[in-house]
Amino acid sequence: MQSQIVEVEGGDWRELSSGAGWTAAVEAGKVLYFPSLGFELRPGERALLRPEIRDPKSRNISLNVDGTLKGAAGDEATQRQVAEMIGRFREQAVSLITRLFPQYAQVMRLAPTSYRPMQVETRAQSWRADDRRMHVDAFPSRPNHGERILRVFANVNPEGAPRVWRVGEPFEDVARKFLPRAKPYVRWQARALRALHVTKSLRSEYDHLMLQLHDGMKGDPAYQQDAPQERVEFAAGSTWICFSDQAVHAVMSGQYMLEQTLFLPPGTEYDPDASPLAILTRMKGHALVDSPGR
């Protein structure tokens, strides 16, 4: 399998700019890796790199778009410091995406920014929620109708430990394997899920198929072990970017990471024909999301 990692030199968030090859790579589902591009902590912020900073009732710490902080423990001053650190990362991540992909800046929608201080290896989760199994991101309760999921990650581990991923084969290869196994989409079932508030909106056929791919991969032990894949160590002090709805990945180990999610409307990519929506539509031979107004 050809490597799905594209290394990009440069250690200054303000100097990186767009490159046609990088754009094509990320829209093909590859991971852009910036080994020298680190998020610099301010004096005193190293004290925030400890598991106890997270409220034990929350999985991660997140800064909402409106500036409210969720999931952090500690007094008011500590929580303010956590919010400032995450907010500064948000500014740098959004600025980076704007410089690398100027076309996205006009359409991207900001999602909460997260700080993940817990150790990946010790998390106990169901097989569907276990991100140590290779998968593409899909949301059971939040249908997105082809909206893209673009993510910026930064490893801020103070002890130099890498964030270790497994990165799998191209999305189209995965779809060829798992689409024939997918359960058929039933519209009345999608309507029932919406009526029962299991989903926040009507689950489209696209959302259904993405969940089938997600669950198909995670639920297949032979695929997890034998599928084409590479082990990647994202070093402490590095940053990486991918469309997590397209890049096949599993998070195997690591601790202390910052992450920014951005959503793009379907069709606003530089090459919309390379998207999961376009690939699955070609394979199925019909539209997978309703047109506006339906």
For residue range 173-200, what is the model confidence (pLDDT) as tens digits?
999 999 999 999 999 999 999 999 999 9
Q: What is the mean pLDDT of residues 28-44?
A: 95
Q: Which strands make up the sheet holding 257-264, listed edge to edge?
A: 5-7, 31-34, 239-243, 148-155, 257-264, 109-116, 61-63, 69-70
The average pLDDT across 101-127 equals 90
Q: How far is CA 129 from the centre of its chain?
A: 14
Domains of the chain, first to last = 5-281 (2.60.120)
Tokens of 4: 């799905």
CA 45, chain centre distance (Å): 25
What count of residues does the chain have?
294
How many CA atoms lie less than 13 Å away from 114 in the CB half-sphere?
Answer: 17
User: What average pLDDT does the structure give for the chain?
Assistant: 93
> Rounded CA gap, 115 and 85, in Å?
9
Summarize the confidence of residues 112-136 as an average pLDDT. Answer: 88
Task: Note the pLDDT of residue 123.
Answer: 74
Cβ proximity of 246 and 280 under 8 Å? no
Q: Is there a contact between 279 and 172 (Cβ–Cβ < 8 Å)?
A: yes
Please give the share of the chain, as a percent, with pLDDT higher than 70.
98
Q: Which DSSP string do the residues of 75-90 spell out, in sequence order?
A: -HHHHHHHHHHHHHHH
**pLDDT over 70 at 292, yes or no:** no
Nearest to 149 by CA among 198, 71, 210: 210
Give DSSP secondary structure letters for 146-184. T-EEEEEEEE--TT-PPEEEEEES-HHHHHHHHGGGPPP
Q: Which residue has the higher pLDDT, 122 or 63?
A: 63
DSSP 145: T
pLDDT for position 16: 75
Query: Quick check: 19 pLDDT over 80?
Result: no
Closest CA to 246 of 166, 136, 168, 167: 136
Instruction: Report the distance separating Cα 259 and Cα 242, nearest Å.
Output: 11
Which residues are registered as beta bridge partners of 232?
A: 165
pLDDT value for 294:
40
Band of pLDDT at residue 21, cut at 50, 70 and 90? confident
Residues 99-118: what's their mean pLDDT? 95
Q: What is the pLDDT of residues 197-243, one digit of tens each?
A: 999 999 999 999 999 999 999 999 999 999 999 999 999 999 999 99
Per-residue model confidence (pLDDT) at position 20: 65
Contact 217, 248 (CB under 8 A): yes
pLDDT above 70 (res 293): no
- Mean pLDDT check: name the lowest of 53-57, 125-129, 152-156: 125-129
Confidence of residue 1 (pLDDT cuts 50, 70, 90): confident
